[in-house]
Chain A
Amino acid sequence: MSFQAVRAVFESPVIDSLAALSPAVPCFVDNQAFTVPDAGQEYATVNLQFGATTSRTLSGNSENLRGSLVVECFTAKNTGPARAQEMITPVMKALNGLNSCKGYEQYGAVGWVGDMTGPAFFALDDQPFYMVRLSVAVSARYEDFDLLSRLEALERTHDINGGHDSGNYPVVRLSPASAPLPADFEERLQKLEEHHDINGAHDSGSYDDGVRQHVSRSNEDFNRRLDRLEDNHDRNRGHESNHY
């Protein structure tokens, strides 16, 4: 569970779409101090609140983040609704775009938007602003890539099947999941690959030579590489070790 990653999934598209307007509209998130601008100066606020975060299942509570995203844009009063509509339209488009699972690789979280209420337009009585308000039901899931766990499980299986202890592969801790992988991880994976080949008396191949020449790379590359190593390990041993 990472509320920060989930916030980024929902707030970033709103902030970016408002910043892309001409003129750009400053956007303030929850608990961010700001002075309400003078009349005529546009601004927006975005507030993400969580309502229910888990669902009960037979084996315990599983994460199921559900919440509410409220976007409020303020523009000059007594100038018609056009500018407010211009402000909220790209926000709605950006939020709808989330349903294509954007943000997963960037933030480690994936979010979906549900029913949208609004946009509702108000001319505020006691403030010199015309406001448009959008309320959206949101749900999200955070997935820890957790490559380390997968590698540790593979190492254990490798040792058990080989009837030996290959020793300590350099230990690294991956945090946060979306950060570039450190050099030790590359070294550790390479050592495991070599031992796998020696024990199996075969060459399982390069596991992507091109990728290996660089130390920092995306989690996706490592995932692919680890997948292949796991597959080969299973095929060579004639069993299914999976569940890494």
Chain B
Amino acid sequence: MKPITAIVPDFRDALDEGLKEVVNTVVVDLKEKGPYWSGQFESLWKVNAGKTAIKPLFPAISPTPKQAIKPREITPFDIPESPNLGGYRIGNEAKYRLFAMDLVPTPRGRQGGNAPNATAPNDWFDTYYNAVMPRRINSELASVFRRYK
């Protein structure tokens, strides 16, 4: 049995590792569940350490030609170190992110998921955030803590 003095460092390590695994899982989920046309929106999911906001920097490739539809490919992304369990912030750097996440309706583009060529169901982000993500976080953290004995 470990001495009690070893428990706190273990706990911190487990939380640190757990946070990274949770962030990885959530970002991959967002990349998989979100709209995918040219791959631009998918590639712009970003992780910042701490509470640094993700700024919308990149405008849409416009107009998007039909031939630009590609099979979905999950691009790699970085998870920076977050010292002292400072947490992470996940966001998308596309300027049109609110439309792509169906948070603001628009009669153009994916039209809130109602466009005939929409590649994600409407309110996909809310559905994930409200009904899937909490469970994913719980299960990822639980699996990490199980490894520490």
A binds B: yes
A177 located at the interface, meaning its Cβ lies under 8 Å from any Cβ of chain B in the complex? no
Q: Is B105 touching A52 in the complex (CB atoms < 8 A)?
A: no
- Docked pose: A122 CA to B122 CA in angstroms: 18
From 98 to 137 in chain A, residues with beta carbon under 8 angstroms from any chain B beta carbon are: 114-115, 117, 120, 122, 124, 126-127, 131, 133, 135-137
A68-B131 in contact (CB<8A): yes
A124: chain B residues at CB < 8 Å are 104-106
User: Taking the complex as formed, is A92 at the interface, i.e. its CB lies under 8 A from any CB of chain B?
Assistant: no
Q: B132 contacts A138, CB within 8 Å?
A: no
Nearest residue in A to B132 (C-beta to C-beta)?
Answer: A51
Chain B residues within an 8 Å CB radius of A3: none
A138–B130 Cα distance when bound, in Å, is 8
Asked if B129 lies at the interface with its beta carbon under 8 angstroms from chain A, I say yes
Label chain A's interface by main secondary structure. strand
Q: Mark A40-78, 1 if CB is under 8 A from B, else 0.
A: 000000010111100000000000001110101000000
User: Is the beta-carbon distance between A67 and B107 smaller than 8 angstroms?
Assistant: no
B32 nearest CB across to chain A (Å): 14
- How many Å lie between the Cα of A155 and that of B90 in the bound state? 59
Per-residue CB contact flags for chain B residues 80-120 toward chain A (1 = under 8 Å, else 0) read: 00000000000000000000000111111000000000000
Q: How far apart sit A50 and B126, CA to CA, in the bound complex (Å)?
A: 10
Tell me whether B130 and A67 are in contact (CB under 8 A).
yes
Q: Roughly how many angstroms separate A68 CA and B135 CA in the complex, as a whole number?
A: 14
Contacts of B129 in A (CB 8 A): 68, 117, 135
Q: Which residues of the partner chain A approach B127 to less than 8 Å between Cβ atoms?
A: 49-51, 67-68
Q: Please tell me if the beta carbons of A66 and B131 are within 8 angstroms of each other in the complex.
A: yes
B113 (CB) vs chain A CBs: closest residue: A47
Q: Which residues of A contact B130 (CB under 8 A)?
A: 51, 66-68, 114-115, 117, 135-138
Q: Which residues of chain B have C-beta atoms less than 8 A from A133's C-beta?
A: 103-104
A66–B130 Cα distance when bound, in Å, is 8
Q: Which residues of A contact B107 (CB under 8 A)?
A: 126-127
Q: Give chain B nearest CB distance to A168 CB in angstroms.
A: 46
Q: Given A49-B131, A50-B131, A52-B132, A70–B126 Cβ distance below 8 Å?
A: yes
A67-B131, A68-B131, A137-B131 are contacts. A49–B126 as well, Cβ < 8 Å?
A: yes
Residue of A nearest to B102 (CB): A70
Q: State the A residues within 8 Å of B (CB).
A: 30, 47, 49-52, 66-68, 70, 72, 114-115, 117, 120, 122, 124, 126-127, 131, 133, 135-138
